[in-house]
Amino acid sequence: MKNKILYLAIALMLIIPAVFAQDKPEVLEEVLLDEQTDIAEEIPQAAAVSTSTQEKTLKEKLQDVYHLEVDKYDKPTYLLENVLTHKFDEDSIWDRTQLWAGYNGDIGLQFTEAGMGSEHTTNHYDINTINVGFDGYLKNNNGDFRVMINISPYSERNVIQNLFADMYIATNKIPHHRLLVGHSRPPVGMEGAYGPFVLPFIARSQISRNFGTVRKLGARISGDYSLLGYDFGVYSSDTYFQEFFPGAEFIGRVDLKPLGKTDGKYGKLLIGGSMDAGHRDNNFCVVGAHIQYDYKRFMANFEWAQANGYNGPVGHSVDTHASGFYATLGYMLTKKLQIIARYDEFDPNREIAHNNQREYSLGLNYFIKGQGLRLILNYVFCQNDATKDSHRIMLGTQILI
């Protein structure tokens, strides 16, 4: 145990100085920004830091972390991946196992015309993620598993309900496909399917906070082709292990990739739609559409959703007719610094007039080591028809080891 603590301390001593080190002269080249997906759905990839045929020493691995340069921000980068990954012998059916941990949280201020305050003047704005995971991979993509626990406290659920997050087994053996059985985050919308460690802002959009970003127990199949992607699954409509199969739920998403055969010459374009329909006390249905475009250092996301009842992270709302829309724009000023802006509107009940909630957000992301070590600054103006307007200033940190 003492050795592990010593190794972690050495790693942090090597990583933290990079925040204050003087940057090298940069050449503004194309920054690759692929489709962002939940880390639970990723097809296993090789280790981020290349290794030679001879196993490196711990000191050499930590030096690799210090010198690591990351050009892609659509997937998590684990800083201590080579330290916390165990590779098996050639005669073993196992390829490797990896232990990892992630933190994403913020400190912030909220104020209204009346002054400072902690009163929530907008919905579901609690942000704090602490995850610890253990992944295992069979050789030749025959299979993989993940066990992930969530240490973040949440007052509305008990310890057991909040503790267990991803728990699944999967395989990529079928070309272009992934089969998964277990507890995972289904694609309720576009941003609702993102993992917490690839979000552009500290908080998700309002439709994602209400309709999506929830894990469910079920079976799903996803396909990925050059011009088409899809994800279909059947789940229990329970969330966070609160009930035993209160009903069945279907969640599906289809994406078209019109520029999929142009090798990124004109950027990457994704046009898609999603549906979440099921039964929990009564029937519910959420439909949505989204567009995502990335070109060199520019990115844009647009998403709309409408619900006739929904089954989201804060509980199910059977008879509520809600809808929302957001638009996000981002630009990489340098290889490490990104500026982002968002307009976000949500109507919690279309049958009630003058109750819309709008959020105007500005942000900066500084990717010290990609998503593995990131600083975040967000400002949000919350304009509410039915309650007081408010302002939020948040400073966030993200660390993946």
Give the count of domains, the chain. Answer: 1
Which CATH number is 225's domain given? Answer: 2.40.160.10
Nearby residues of 232 by Cβ (< 8 Å), 6 or more positions away: 220, 221, 222, 250, 251, 252, 253
- What is the model's pLDDT at position 317? 78
Rounded CA-CA distance 294/332 in Å is 11
Angle at 285 between CA 280 and CA 291, to 5 degrees: 140
Instruction: Please say if the pLDDT value at position 13 is more than 70.
Output: no
**Is 50 part of any domain?**
no
Q: Sort strands 248-256 and 228-236 into parallel, antiparallel or unpaired.
A: antiparallel
Kindly report, residue by residue over 22-37, the tens digit of the pLDDT: 444 444 444 444 445 5
- What is the model's pLDDT at position 318? 74
Across the chain, mean pLDDT equals 84
**Is 22 part of any domain?**
no
Place of tokens 């374009």: 269
Kindly report, residue by residue over 47-104, the tens digit of the pLDDT: 344 444 567 887 788 888 878 888 888 889 999 999 999 999 999 999 999 999 999 9
- What is the model's pLDDT at position 60? 81
- Which sign, positive or negative, has the C-alpha torsion 70, 74, 79, 83? negative
Considering the entire predicted model, what is its pTM? 0.82
- What is the model's pLDDT at position 249? 96
Range in 10-14, 189-193, 277-281, 376-380 the model is least confident about: 10-14
Angle at 99 between CA 95 and CA 101, to 5 degrees: 145
Instruction: Please say if the pLDDT value at position 43 is more than 70.
Output: no
**Is 225 part of any domain?**
yes
- Which sign, positive or negative, has the C-alpha torsion 62, 64, 69, 75? negative
Give which of 185, 168, 194, 166 is closest to 313, Cα–Cα.
185
**Is 49 part of any domain?**
no
Cβ-based burial of 175 (10 A; exposed 0-12, middle 13-18, buried ≥19): exposed
**Is 105 part of any domain?**
yes
**Is 144 part of any domain?**
yes
* Domain limits for position 74: 2-17+28-44+56-400
Instruction: Please say if the pLDDT value at position 300 is more than 90.
Output: yes
Place of tokens 């909630």: 357
Rounded CA-CA distance 321/309 in Å is 6
Instruction: Please say if the pLDDT value at position 14 is more than 60.
Output: no
**Is 186 part of any domain?**
yes
- What is the model's pLDDT at position 111? 73
For the CA atoms of the chain, what is the radius of gyration? Answer: 21
Rounded CA-CA distance 36/301 in Å is 11
Residue 85 pairs in a beta bridge with 98
Confidence of residue 45 (pLDDT cuts 50, 70, 90): very low
Nearby residues of 324 by Cβ (< 8 Å), 6 or more positions away: 205, 206, 207, 210, 304, 305, 344, 345, 346, 347
**Is 387 part of any domain?**
yes
Rounded CA-CA distance 278/239 in Å is 13
Rounded CA-CA distance 361/116 in Å is 19
Range in 6-20, 108-122, 185-199 the model is least confident about: 6-20
Give which of 321, 323, 319, 312 is closest to 346, Cα–Cα.
323
